[in-house]
Structures are given as structure tokens and as C-alpha cells.
Structure 1
């Protein structure tokens, strides 16, 4: 199923109301009510009111009183597409600068204020827009408006050269972590250079080219702000539980006096074309050869967007697609798919396949199969069933995405920014429902058949013989604009009609109400715990089976995951494709999976389709096919995935750290995905044996969140009453290895752009109200929040990393403490020194009284955000079920927080932060980092992974 990007991402809400122009009563002077949406009876809708200030700021309000929280979003219609050639990365760099304090908000205070208020926050940048958002308890709303208005109107007085340099380094670290140190990380930016004309706004990466970041100056950033960050280029959207009149008064107070910025025009749209097919290639530190093909199509909201989306689904949208049949099922690819991502200025029909080395891995062969799949589509044509499954899934997604205030707010902001209309849901539903067979056939011939394309091959280093075809295109040298920004007007400081330096004082925190739950049992004794959530007509059901990877002998590591994968395939009655088709026509999903301590079956369904969905669950659970062809394909995919993951530094670090903590002889010390050796020797009989051991009623517990009442819901589970089998117990856990003190373990990753650092030790098992929970609180100021000591030091002060953190992770039997970061290779030793210094200081001196106040306020108030969505409610129920907790355990946690003493937490720090008990793991380029690591005075041991 396509990730509905631009216009269709907006379908996180179904809007079916009508728009009216009401009177201006109770609206502050200077604020104009533009329109209001009201819903009709029995229709899924979202209510909103749209206002505009005299300075051009658009304000959208959405009331949702289901939870005591608010979500604030400020979206600016500026992204990488507004940059000039050779000046890339400004929009994203500026996103970072917006968190560095403003005239009346101190350095680092933005994160501290929101976190201390119990909220979450972030900002994101793409090619077309930048947004900033916070979700907080509703008593903190005025404070959020104060913060957002101050950086909109008063950022420049606080923008210093020093802050600029730190954030430029942070962005470089982010690029190194997300692009340069990641398999296939540089693929898309190389691809876009070939796909778009020279100088096209999408031809450079959002994060920027390194040379462009180096070229930037603080003055460039100041001018970028002046050009694009005026209120007339912004939409402020607020959703949640609030008093509308009060909010309008606050918006008027904080935003109205910010001057309007330069005029911003909607960018011109023109179709991208190619003169001929372009072949490009690159070598990378990867295992699986990858081919990516794309055809230029239209732009977002073009009349042909919807049928092109349908075409993408038919060609490569899952297990019923032609790509799956011809590439994945036949074993030529480990993964393959087709999508039609759209942006404001351009869309593309994008196809990819990860070649299976077991079939040779030659991308020439894979490309041929892709072309054969396209030809097969032309021969078979389009069926009504093809369209129906996409339309049904589209409608289902619309309803499922109604489940959070953030999703609703983001949708309103998105649609307003790009279409000037918050309500596009009904329009989008209608245009997708209207797609016909002829429409899909027409767009295929218009944009795909015999049309030029870009074909990119990414192959392992030294394996250029695997490319699809020799390169016939080289990107021209980039243009460099003489100035970074154009159309800037002189900066005029906004007037001050009140003292902005005083942060608003929040009212009393809202009372928290945990979900009301009910308990029941099936006739066979399987426990069911549920809660009713009436916001959407949906069911989120999870069947948990105690066991998972922990139940497997370490020599068979990967078996639990392989078995779950097999249960996602065919049954004795139907093929994988037939089952997938049946679920798609219901708008449902059924997914088997496995983790450290459990296997599970996740079911998402519209309430109206639950009975038919559960029939498919029962078929998969009770009548698995366990076919040899499925097993061979799934096993090969798991082996190739394991080999692929070994090129990821973070996977290497995670695997090595677990091995150090718990040993190769324990399932806790070996990846749940297994190793190349353990998975290779698994057989279909092993899968059948584990299925019989794991998928028993005695191991099962069920969690459900639904709009149905318990009495209506429980009979729909009656088919599971025939499930039998006793529970199983774990074998005794293997003895853990002795940790070598003052030792650095090194995993060599030649050519790594960054080093991944893990520092830690074994620690506490999970408990909700005991020492584990108190240790979590103790660590919060050290490494548990953005403005923790570790992150402020390594990221904000030193510019070594994109992010650094520490925390306790607890399982049923044991746990660990870990401090971690990905850092620039050339500061690996220095970063370790800073980690050690911060942990040592924290152990010896503990936290301050101010840090204690911060953690109390942050953790206690954040509970208002914990139970909003069905997924969050299900997680809460599972915690009660898994750890046999009282539903009142959150009240006990609140009482613990209220009564925390500094001395108690500092004693925990003295006990658990002892560096002599910790080991250091580094994954990086040995030849570069080893000489300096030796200077730390630790023993250095090179670690070889299985």
C-alpha cells in the first residue's frame, strides 16, 4: 500500500462536514474569522475554525476534548526547494537554529520549558515546508504560544556566530549519521541529481551538500530568516482541549504585533521530463545490490495523481502485486516494491528491488524482470478488483488515522499550507473513488510505457560487474548562486507592547484519567483485557504469546522470528496472495511477529469487518501452510537481511553490546534475528516444532482497544475457544560473562564516517514502582531528556554528535544501563572522555535541586500524553497484563515522584553509575581511532562478531 505522501498524507482525518462563514462575535479586534467547519450527523469529520491576523498569520483551531492535552504546530511554507543552487541545507540548518533561544527565551530553554511542562517537541524539514510542534498538557498552552511567537518574531537578536557554528557541526553530524554512515544513505541524493534538471529545487538534498554547509555564513542564516519566516508565510494550528476565546486572546497578544515579512508566492509547477534513459551507479558498503528506477510523472494534486497511485499499487504494492510475484516470490529479490511519492512540485513512479545474491545478484537480470513485470501489466490490464482493494484500504487508512490530535493538527496545517484549504478529506476521498480502469490505463501509457527513466545501481564495494548497465550520465558541476538569499527586506525589530521576558505561569495541571478497563476470559482460559475507545470505529487487537526468542535454544537463534514470518505466508486453504487480497478488501491487517520475550499477532480492523478479519486470523493460526517453497524463500530473506545488517554500524553496536552483557551462550546475548550460522541450519521441521511449542492457548493473552462494548466484542472471539495447549516455561538462563573492568572493546568498521559508542553494564530487571523505576528517574537529568547533561555537552557544547543519551532498559529477568552516541570519527576519544567525565561527576556529586524539580515536573505532567491513541491504551493494558500490575500503578508512580528526595536519588547514582563496573564498546574505523583510544589508559580488545 502506498505511503500517501503529499495530498494523501492529509488523510489522517476524514473531513465530511460543511464550511460556513459565521459571525465575528467574541473574536479579538485584528483577528478575522475566515471560515468554520461543522460536521453532519453520522459522518466522520473534523471541526475547525480558520482565522487570519492582520500580519497575514493563518490560525486554525480544532477542538478535541477527549484528552487533557493540546498540540501546537507552526508550519512555514519554506523548505529546501526555496534554497538557491549551491546554497543547500539552509532550511534544515535554520530548523536547528530555531531551538537555540530567542530574545526573551534563553539558550537551550525551549527544550527545557517544553520537557519540564511534561511535553514533547520537535521540528522537521522537507523540500517544501518546515514545521515546529509541541504536544503538552492543556494547562501549558499559553507557554507554548509564548515560545513559538518569540522565535517567530525575536530570533535574530539571539542568533550568535557561536550558536551558528555549533549547529552547523550538529547538522554535519546528523548528515554523517543518517547519510554517510548508513547503507544506501547517499543513494537518493545521487539519484535526484540525475532525475531532476540542473538547478531544480529537488536536485539537492534537504540536509545539504557538505561544501554548501561549509560555505554558509551566520549572515546568510539571518537573511534566510528575514526572507521566509514572516507570519504571512506561516500557519499556526492548535488542536486539543482548550477554551477557544482564551486561545484567540493569547494568539492576538503574542503574534499580532510581529511584522509581516516579504511577499511569498506559490512556486511555479512544471512537469519534469527526461530526454533519454539515464543509467548511474555507485559502490557502497552494502551486502545486497539495489536497483532503483523512476519515471517522472506529475505533481501533487494533479488530476493524474490518483490513478498513478493506483497503478503503483498494482505494480508493486505488496504481496498481491506483480513485483512481488515476479521478483520476491521467485527469489530474485529479497524485497521489491513500487510507490508514487508526490511533492509540491513533482511526483515520480519509483521502483526498487534488493537483489538476492543467492540468485547471482546481477542487477541486469533484476532490471529485466522489472521490465517484464511492466510488460505483464500491459498484457493483463486493470481489473475492478485491483481498484477496489486500493480504494477500500484508502478509506480504512482514513479512519485509522483519526486517532491522535497531532495527526489531525498536522493534516489541517498541511492542507492549509499547500492548498489554502484545511478541509481536503472529502475531496480526496471522492477523487480516489472516482478513478476508473480507463484512468489507470491512460496514465500508464502517458507516463510509463516506453518512457525515459533513471536507473540507479548500488552495489557492494568492488562489485561493479553487478550494475544494471554502464553509466551514461554524469551530473554536471553544481551551480553556485552569488547570494544565498534573494528578496530580503530590511530587518525591523517588532514593537513590544508588554514584557515578553516573563514566561507565562501555567495553571493547575489537568487530572489524569487512565483508561477504564475490563477483564474477561475465553472458554479455554485465555485472558482478555480491554478498554472502550469511541473516537473511531476501529479495533486494535494483539494476541501475545509468552516465549519468543527467550524460548529458543541459543543454537537455534532466529527460529522465533522465522516461525512468525512463516505464519504470515500461506495456509492449508489459501495462498499468501489470496490471503493478502482478502485482507486488503476488508481494509484490515494481520501481522505475526516475535521479539525477545514474546511472539504476537497484531490485528487492526474496522469494527464492521472484525468478524471476517478474525476468520482469517483463525485460518492463519490454526491451519498454517508451512510449505517448503515459502520456507526456502523466507529463510533466504532472513539470511540476506542478517548479512545486510552487518553493514549498519548501529546494528553492529547493538549486537556486540548484548553479547558483552549477556554472552554468546544466552538468548539474551544473541540477536532475536539469529546469526548467519544459526539461521542457516534451521529446518522446516524446526519451525513446525517451535510453532507447536509457542502458539498454544496456555501461552496466550489478549489485549484489545475497540469502540465496541465488551458484551458485543467478546462473542467475536468465539473462534479462539477451540485453541488448546498448556503454557511452557523457560529454560534456566545461562550464566552471564564476567565484565572486564577498564576495557574498551572495538569492532572494526573500515571507512566508517562515525564511531558508535556504547558505555554500560548489566543492571536491574523491570519493575514499575521499585528500584528500576527510581533508577529511571535518577538517570533523567543525566541522559534521559534532550537537555540532559550528556546531550548538552556532546551535542550542544562540543558539536561531536547529533544526539547522546543514557538510560536503563529492563526486561523480565535482567536489564542493563547504557550511555550511547554516534560521534564524528575524529573526536571518538574526546567524546568518550566527556561521557566518562559526566558519568563520574554525576556519581560523585549527584543531581542538583534544580534538576530534581525539572524531572518531577516533566515526568509527572507527561502522563497527560500517555493514553491518547488506541495504540497507547493497548500498551498500557499490556503492561498491566505482562507484569501483573495494578491499574493504579501509575498513581503509585506519581506518589513516588511527589515524595522523591535528592539524597535517595543520589545514593542510586552512587550505586549504579560506577564506571569501574562498566565496559566501553566502540564501532568504528580501527586504523583511524585506535591510536588515540590507547591513550585513555584502558585495555583495548578487538571484538569479532559471529
Structure 2
């Protein structure tokens, strides 16, 4: 982090956290035992259709006194155009009020009976204890049949959507997904368009009302009733609450069928500050749900990239150490399916990883899988299927899919038999049908200046922005202005945050930050003391998970009660960047600073200052050329797949005791993107040397 929360402390703390219980280890040495395909006795859900066309499927399960109602609306994808996002917003608006209840009243009524009620553009889900079924359905029917869209609630949802869009703009995985869809389907296709701040701002109440009045019709609806309820009870309740729902004609638009490119293209989204590259090899696939090829193609994909024993994972992670994980997917869709294979890799091995991905795509087309591969995949595939049947909702979903897609009545009952019948030759046929490495889009989100030329061997390189629009190649990095050096840049930074005189008066700083790691709330407390002492304590789940202390010469780490002393470059880099404002002491600590030109950071010119030491330690700071403030730092850190560049970005500078500190810090940790928010900064609170004492 900046002067007071150095990047090396954050990286060490978070890396330690990830390895102390947030990541689970998978034993891939034990394969499921071979066995004949079990006979599946699927219960046939009771079904009936209301006069208005609503099709109802009832799965009785008396294990728990609960009942769930899941309404699915089956309409064709909608091209939203200049108001992209309105369909999602309309679905969320449903639960924000009815003609007789406000949003708060709905929420209170749901909470009072301990129920669940949620809405989406494709339906409504509600569940409660059986004794509250009537109250639940009265609420569900009110939300469904009597929505009252208001401008105040629309404005709230638009604000939330715009915030979510903003949070995705720096997420490389989200960018890769968005751009993949844009190039694969085209932006004039419902699967290729995306919501932006501009399109969301155009959404009106009339758009939401029109969507609801057009698509919320019972004659395209399927209602799954699952739980402690008899078919007779379900029919009585459904007729009571939903028979007044009026049917209507629903549009059935048609779209141009997306095609694979005539030859492989490289789609590069340049992220100059990226520490790694996200790779996605994609192409459309004409695969319908429940089609004769569906089971065979699913097995083929599982062999290629369906899990931790699949070819892509074993090659790119286990054999070569390029990535934390590599996978593929082949999805069916009534309109158009999709094939995707990909991984997130270190910048330095981007082209090598692409080469191995393409090698595996060719290999599965050119040869049959081994007998062991096919058996193992069938066993896992069948095991997952049997496990899924333990959920009664699955039975209802299968019944609905059978009706939706016109599948044979015994499609799911015979599923495992059909899995067992698949041959090695059929696996190869599926690969040849759905995967063509000579006609794919290779989408890469990464640092263009380091990877663009290396990617040219795979195809023509085209640049796109984060919204999926084709753009010109970025201008090359500019040289530093004549006569300017690194010390001048650092001096400008020191002046920008408060000046040497103000910084010299600071003896200690305590910073409290908050974030989430894999869904768990975390708090970090970073303390620094002049001239070169620091500590970082990470608390999660109500306990101290990691503590790192530097007394200026030695560094220790306490990790889940187990302590160790850091040594070598790892410790040296921490001691170099410990203390309040280490930039004031770089030269006397033997650190050489070099101005290496300018680069774009978040679209703005930034001076690039590279620090090096005699021990071979190096890191890079980027300073905004106008404000002088530090906007990013990149260090090289060891990791499970070798050394990788790890960036941390700084923004939202605010003044505390006359000194400007960043209050938002974005940190990359392998595949995770973390946002740390400063909760509190305390300056000169009187820290003592004892707080930084290392006890052996």
C-alpha cells in the first residue's frame, strides 16, 4: 500500500490468509469405483394446467414441513438496445411494492412468517413453513398480479445497477466475459449486448411496465410446487391464487444465428496495469437442450476441462504451473450455445498458456480418450447426477425441462444408461463437431505492451475496450520528459501528500481497513512507527488470523498460532518499506530509483519509477503526472505457480491531520480482486517500541 500500508505487507498477509483454511485441498488420487449404471426411479411429478395456461408440477416431499413455489416464465431472449438493463430492473421492481403494500410492508410480512420471497425477470420464488402457505401465496400472488412500480424505487435500482457496472469495470474476469459475448454474438444480439451507465440511465417506468405487461403471462409459465404438500392441496391453492392471472400473446423474436469466425482471431483488451492475463477461447455452438448430442458432448467437455482431473487443469496447472486453474464449458441453449476454455495466468506465460490451450483443443479432436479417462469421467458424471436427485427441486426442474424442450418422457429416467453407452469414438466426434481451434476467438485481457507481439502467432490481433467495442492499438509508452528524474517525481509526490515538513512531524500512523475474502469479512490494522517499524494484524471470523511484525531489521509472521521468521528478499523488502514514509529514506537504505518513462494508469499518464537494490529486489511505483499522487504499485511476489507481478492501486485521497492518504485500495491476490476501504486513520497516537518487538 502507499506510504503507510505497504504492498508487501498486504500481499504477505492475504497470501497467508488464503492458505489457512479459506482454500480447500482436493484429493485427486482417489477415483470413484467402477459400477454399472444404476437404474433411476424418478418419481413422476403430478401435473395439471390451469385454464389460463399455467402449467403446474407438484413434487411431494414430507421430510420437512416446508413448501416452495418456483414460477418460471419461458420467453425468447429480448434485445434491449439503447435501454439495455431494463429487463433486469423490471424483474427487481416487482418486489418493491404492490397496489396495497409498500416494499417495507412486503418485507415485514415475509420476515414475520420466516419466509423467502424473491423476484427476477423470469419469475418468482417463494418458500415457507407449510403452516404459513396461505399467507405466503397471498403475498406471492399480490406481488405477481398487482405490482406498483414507482419512480423512487426505480431510481434506487438504477443507482444500484450503475454501481454494479462500475465495480465490474476493473474486474478482468468480468471484462473477459463481456467482451467474449460481444465478439462471439455481436452487440446487436441479446447475448452480446451489455448494460452500461448510459443505457441504465435511459430506463423509464414505462419500460418496466411494458415488459411486465408483455411477458408476465401464465400461458408461458411453469410453476414447480415442492415440499410437504399433496397434489390435491397444491391444485386447490394454485387455482385460488393464480386462476385470475390473465393470459396473453407473447412476442417470439428471431435473431441472426452467430457463426464462428472464418479464421482464429486474437481479441486483446489492453490493461496496462494488469498483473496477469485472463484468457478465454470461445466460439458459438449449435447445441440444443436435450439434443441427441447433449450427453455425449457434456462428457467430451468434462474430459477436456470439466474439473480437477481434466486435461486442461492437469496441463496448465499441474504440469506447467501457469495458473491456479483451467477449465472449459460447453453450454446448450435453445437459441445458440457456447464453447469456452480458459484460465488466468501470469503475464510472462500468456502466449505459452494460449499455446497449451490450443494444443489440448487439437488433441481432443485428433485422438480418442483413453479407457481410464472415459471411465473416470463417466463415474464422476453419474455421481453428480445421482447426487443432484437428492434435491426434490431437481425432480421438478427436470419435469419442467421435459415440457419446455419437448424431451422424451423417459429422458431423465434413462439418463445414466445413455451416459454409459457413450463410446470413445463418439467423444472424438463431439470434439470435431463443437471445437475447431482454427475458427475461434481468443480473448485476452492483459498487459498489451508485454503480450501483444507474442500473441500474433495465433492470429490477427484486434484491440477492444472493456465494453466490447473495437478500438485502435494503444500508443506506445512515452519517454520521460527531458531533464526529469525519479527523485523529482518522488519529491512531487511528497509535496502532493503534505510536504516534507508535515511528514517529518509524524511519528506513528494507525490505519484500520475492511474488506472481504471469499465471502468472509476481514479487518486489517496496520501500524507504522518512525523510522522503520511496522505491523499488520488481520482479523477474520472473530479471531486473529495473521500478524506480521517488522522491528526494522527482522520480520516475523504469526499465522493461525504458528510463528516463523521471514528471511532473504521477502524480509528485506518489508524492512525497506516499513515505517511511516519510507520514500524519505530510499537513498540511505540503498534503494536506487529510476524514472522509466510514462504509462497509462486508469486512462491517465503516470510516471513510472522503478526501485532496485543490490540484492535484486525490485518494485515499481506509478505517480499521476498531473497530481503527483501515487496511483499504483507493482511488486514481484513468489507464488504457487512461480513469481508473478502483483499490483495494488490507490484512489480516493483524503486529508487527515494535514496529510493526504488514499482511502480506497484495490489489491490483486491471484484470481481474487479485493477492494480495501479505510475505516479509520490515526496519526501520532503515541505508539511504543514494545508494539513492534519480535519475541522468539
Specify if TM > 0.5.
yes
Residue 296 of structure 2 is aligned to residue 774 of structure 1? yes
**Alignment map for 1:191-202 (pairs within 5 Å):** none
Determine which of 662, 678, 681 is the counterpart of 2:199.
Answer: 678
The answer to whether the 8 Å contact 2:40/2:414 transfers is: no
Residue 467 of structure 2 is aligned to residue 940 of structure 1? no
The whole-number CA distance in structure 2 between the counterparts of 1:88 and 1:743 is 36
Partner of 1:349: none
Q: CA deviation at 1:701?
A: 1.6
For residues 365-406 of structure 1, the C-alpha deviation after alignment (integer angstroms, 9 at most, x for no partner) is xxxxxxxxxxxxxxxxxxxxxxxxxxxxxxxxxxxxxxxxxx
The answer to whether the 8 Å contact 2:312/2:326 transfers is: yes
The whole-number CA distance in structure 2 between the counterparts of 1:894 and 1:941 is 44
Partner of 2:394: 872
Mark the CA change 1:635 to 1:601 in structure 2 (over 3 Å): closer, same or farther: same
Mark the CA change 1:567 to 1:91 in structure 2 (over 3 Å): closer, same or farther: closer
Residue 608 of structure 2 is aligned to residue 688 of structure 1? no
For residues 433-455 of structure 1, the C-alpha deviation after alignment (integer angstroms, 9 at most, x for no partner) is xxxxxxxxxxxxxxxxxxxxxxx
Residue 485 of structure 2 is aligned to residue 565 of structure 1? no
For residues 432-488 of structure 1, the C-alpha deviation after alignment (integer angstroms, 9 at most, x for no partner) is xxxxxxxxxxxxxxxxxxxxxxxxxxxxxxxxxxxxxxxxxxxxxxxxxxxxxxxxx
The whole-number CA distance in structure 1 between the counterparts of 2:266 and 2:14 is 41
Gaps of 5+ in 2: 1-11, 469-696
Partner of 2:182: 659
Residue 253 of structure 2 is aligned to residue 731 of structure 1? yes
Q: CA deviation at 1:656?
A: 0.9
For residues 140-187 of structure 1, the C-alpha deviation after alignment (integer angstroms, 9 at most, x for no partner) is xxxxxxxxxxxxxxxxxxxxxxxxxxxxxxxxxxxxxxxxxxxxxxxx
Mark the CA change 1:534 to 1:803 in structure 2 (over 3 Å): closer, same or farther: same
Partner of 2:129: 606
The whole-number CA distance in structure 2 between the counterparts of 1:606 and 1:893 is 33
Q: CA deviation at 1:707?
A: 1.3
**Alignment map for 1:616-635 (pairs within 5 Å):** 616-635=139-158
The whole-number CA distance in structure 1 between the counterparts of 2:459 and 2:38 is 51
Determine which of 434, 438, 450 is the counterpart of 1:916.
Answer: 438
Residue 66 of structure 2 is aligned to residue 538 of structure 1? yes
The whole-number CA distance in structure 2 between the counterparts of 1:621 and 1:767 is 28
The whole-number CA distance in structure 2 between the counterparts of 1:921 and 1:91 is 28
Secondary structure of the residue aligned to 1:528 is strand
**Alignment map for 1:765-914 (pairs within 5 Å):** 765-914=287-436
Mark the CA change 1:90 to 1:695 in structure 2 (over 3 Å): closer, same or farther: closer
Q: CA deviation at 1:894?
A: 2.6
Q: CA deviation at 1:99?
A: 4.3
The whole-number CA distance in structure 2 between the counterparts of 1:786 and 1:815 is 24
For residues 404-424 of structure 1, the C-alpha deviation after alignment (integer angstroms, 9 at most, x for no partner) is xxxxxxxxxxxxxxxxxxxxx
RMSD: 2.5
Mark the CA change 1:863 to 1:98 in structure 2 (over 3 Å): closer, same or farther: closer
Residue 57 of structure 2 is aligned to residue 529 of structure 1? yes
Partner of 1:930: 452
Q: CA deviation at 1:759?
A: 0.5
The answer to whether the 8 Å contact 2:53/2:220 transfers is: no
Q: CA deviation at 1:563?
A: 0.5
Residue 166 of structure 2 is aligned to residue 643 of structure 1? yes
The answer to whether the 8 Å contact 1:758/1:820 transfers is: yes
The whole-number CA distance in structure 2 between the counterparts of 1:559 and 1:96 is 37
For residues 746-801 of structure 1, the C-alpha deviation after alignment (integer angstroms, 9 at most, x for no partner) is 11233223211110211123232512332112222111232011101111111211
Q: CA deviation at 1:621?
A: 1.6
TM (norm. structure 1) is 0.46
For residues 654-681 of structure 1, the C-alpha deviation after alignment (integer angstroms, 9 at most, x for no partner) is 111111111011112124xx23332221
TM (norm. structure 2) is 0.62
Residue 270 of structure 2 is aligned to residue 743 of structure 1? no
Mark the CA change 1:86 to 1:913 in structure 2 (over 3 Å): closer, same or farther: closer
The answer to whether the 8 Å contact 1:540/1:870 transfers is: no
The answer to whether the 8 Å contact 1:530/1:703 transfers is: yes
Q: CA deviation at 1:740?
A: 5.0
The answer to whether the 8 Å contact 2:279/2:445 transfers is: yes
Q: CA deviation at 1:856?
A: 2.8
**Alignment map for 1:404-553 (pairs within 5 Å):** 511-547=39-75, 550-553=77-80
Secondary structure of the residue aligned to 1:768 is coil
Partner of 1:109: 29
Partner of 1:575: 102
The answer to whether the 8 Å contact 1:846/1:909 transfers is: no
Shifted more, 770-779 versus 755-764: the winner is 770-779
Q: CA deviation at 1:702?
A: 0.8
Partner of 2:621: none
Partner of 2:118: 591
Mark the CA change 1:607 to 1:532 in structure 2 (over 3 Å): closer, same or farther: same
Secondary structure of the residue aligned to 1:669 is coil
For residues 533-578 of structure 1, the C-alpha deviation after alignment (integer angstroms, 9 at most, x for no partner) is 1111111211111227x13443332121010111120222121111
The whole-number CA distance in structure 2 between the counterparts of 1:90 and 1:525 is 54
Gaps of 5+ in 1: 1-84, 101-107, 118-505
Determine which of 5, 9, 19 is the counterpart of 1:92.
Answer: 19
Shifted more, 601-610 versus 884-893: the winner is 884-893
Determine which of 215, 225, 233 is the counterpart of 1:704.
Answer: 225
The answer to whether the 8 Å contact 2:97/2:147 transfers is: yes
Q: CA deviation at 1:843?
A: 1.3
